[in-house]
């Protein structure tokens, strides 16, 4: 009997159905057709996916091609691509420069009123200042500001940024600052009587900064009201409560950022 040559396979022209790949994001609901188990993706273990059904039961399934159903249709589950690690941040919120070697100090400076101001600025912006080569120096009171500016000798590339406490209209500080008329000097400040107040109360474990009667030195009055002992003991509590910019009030944050921008301006 002579065989008939039917030519090519009549089924070879039929397109094979492709099974789509679906990223197994946490929360995606899938079904294992072999067992009928239906659940949401919760995590991955040892190259397999863990599903949780509506009763809270967990089951482990291998990630096989076309191994699951989504809305009744076969899919191949694939693991999500690993997320890039977020860049490390400094205490100020800027991108941290790893392996930092401090830059040679600029001629420009940032002055603050006292030691506590300098320590607080260092706590939050220290990394940024070393990257930029900016030195922060205590001024020991704004009363000497005009004389210190004259002694410093400002000019292009030799700028001064000055941070002043209680810089509000009508204050002694605002009157002293108004006498500074030098394009190479920028004075910013905050409205608080002392830089302690620029730390959020919640960061130091209190509901609010206490009101201090007129005539009572502010730090002493605060420490007496809170039972913090002497001012140096109170300051240790305040500084210990600061780990980053989120512990500081917005006026101080803005004032310091403006000073750093001013003294590091490459066009200055």
Q: Would you say residue 135 has pLDDT above 70?
A: yes
Query: Which tokens sit at 180?
Result: 């500074």
Question: Using an 8 Å Cβ cutoff, are 43 and 26 in contact?
Answer: yes
At 46 the pLDDT is 84
Q: What is the percentage of the chain residues whose pLDDT exceeds 90?
A: 66
Res 93: pLDDT? 80
Cα–Cα distance between 232 and 229 in angstroms, integer? 8
What is the mean pLDDT of the segment spanning 88-107?
A: 74
User: Which pLDDT does position 7 carry in this prediction?
Assistant: 52
State pTM to two decimals: 0.67
Answer for the pair 222, 196: CB distance below 8 angstroms, yes or no: yes
Q: Write b or e for each residue in 43-56: b if 16 or more Cβ atoms lie within 10 A of its Cβ, otherwise e.
A: ebeeeebebbeeee
Residue 1 has pLDDT above 50, yes or no: no
Where residue 3 falls among pLDDT bands split at 50, 70, 90?
very low
- The per-residue pLDDT for range 213-228, each reduced to its tens digit, is 999 999 999 999 999 9
Residue 9 has pLDDT above 80, yes or no: no
Pair of tokens at residue 75: 């899919």
At residue 243 the predicted structure's pLDDT band, cuts being 50, 70 and 90, is very high
Higher pLDDT, 106 or 85: 106
Please state, in angstroms and rounded to a whole number, the distance separating the CA atoms of residues 216 and 198: 19
Lowest mean pLDDT among 5-19, 79-93, 242-256: 5-19
d(CA 263, CA 129): 11
Question: What is the four-CA torsion angle of 140, 133, 121, 176, rounded to 10 degrees?
Answer: 40
Distance CA 74, CA 86 (A): 35
Structure tokens at 44: 């991955």
Q: What is the mean pLDDT of residues 113-141?
A: 92
Q: Residue 161 has which token pair? A: 């940024």
Task: Kindly state the DSSP code that residue 32 receives in the 8-state scheme.
Answer: -
Pull the structure tokens for residue 268: 């200055």
Residue of 200, 247, 194, 239 lying closest to 221 (CA atoms)? 194
Helix axes 231-240, 115-132, angle to 10 degrees: 30
Residue-level pLDDT at 15: 55
Distance of CA 35 to the CA centre of its chain: 47
Confirm if 155 and 183 have CB atoms less than 8 A apart. Answer: no
**Each residue of 179-206: pLDDT tens digit?**
899 999 999 999 999 999 999 999 999 9
């Amino acid at each position: 009997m002579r065989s008939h040559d039917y030519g090519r396979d009549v089924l070879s022209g039929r397109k094979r159905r492709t099974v789509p790949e679906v990223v197994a994001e946490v929360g995606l609901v899938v079904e294992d057709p072999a067992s009928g188990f239906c659940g949401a993706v919760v995590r991955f273990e040892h190259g397999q996916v863990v599903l949780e059904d509506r009763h809270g039961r967990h089951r482990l399934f291998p990630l096989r091609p076309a191994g699951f159903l989504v809305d009744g249709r076969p899919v191949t589950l694939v693991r999500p691509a690993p997320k890039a690690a977020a860049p490390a941040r400094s205490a100020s919120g800027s991108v941290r420069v790893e392996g930092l070697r401090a830059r040679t100090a600029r001629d420009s400076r940032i002055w603050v009123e006292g030691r506590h101001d300098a320590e607080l600025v260092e706590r939050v912006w220290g990394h940024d200042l070393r990257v930029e080569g900016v030195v922060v120096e205590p001024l020991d009171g704004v009363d000497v500001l005009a004389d210190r500016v004259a002694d410093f000798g400002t000019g292009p590339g030799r700028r001064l940024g000055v941070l002043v406490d209680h810089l509000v209209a009508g204050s002694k500080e605002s009157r002293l600052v108004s006498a500074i008329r030098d394009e190479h000097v920028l004075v910013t400040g905050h409205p608080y009587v002392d830089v302690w107040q620029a730390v959020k109360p919640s960061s130091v474990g209190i509901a609010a900064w206490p009101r201090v009667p007129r005539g009572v030195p502010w730090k002493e009055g605060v420490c007496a009201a809170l039972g913090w002992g002497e001012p140096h003991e109170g300051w240790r509590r305040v500084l210990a409560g600061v780990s980053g910019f989120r512990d500081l009030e917005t006026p101080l944050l803005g004032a310091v950022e403006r000073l750093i921008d001013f003294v590091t301006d490459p066009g200055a």
